[in-house]
Amino acid sequence: MDHSLYTRAQRAMAELKGAIYELLAGSPSGLTNAEIGRKLGIYQGHIGHEGHISRTMLSLLEAEEVAEQDKATKRWTLRNRDSESLNADT
């Protein structure tokens, strides 16, 4: 496998996650997957399967404990790292 292609793909994923992070940082009340995808122009997909790109990136951010979804509202926000740091210090 061409290492440069792998590097480009990893860089592209990092760019997408970074864009989502910045979008969420500017939206304290959170955003839905659809709102994120549409704002970033990545909500396309084949019929009935729109939103997979943004949802996949959100799942990666969730696994990295960067973002979380309110299950009731379906809105995504950044995790509050300040309160976690404070709790770790006590």
Cα within 13 Å of Cα(19), Cβ side: 16
Q: Is 21 exposed, middle or buried (0-12, 13-18, 19+ CB in 10 A)?
A: middle
pLDDT tens-digit series, residues 27-65: 999 999 999 999 999 998 778 788 999 999 999 999 999
d(CA 21, CA 15): 10
Domain count, the chain: 1
- The whole-number average pLDDT for the span 11-24 is 98
Q: What is the predicted pLDDT for the residue at 47?
A: 81
C-alpha 74/C-alpha 77 separation (Å) is: 10
The whole-angstrom separation of Cα 17 and Cα 11 is: 10
Give the predicted TM-score (pTM) of the model. 0.83
pLDDT score, position 26: 97
CATH number of the domain within which 72 lies? 1.10.10.10
Domain coverage including residue 37: 3-89
Residue 48, pLDDT score: 78
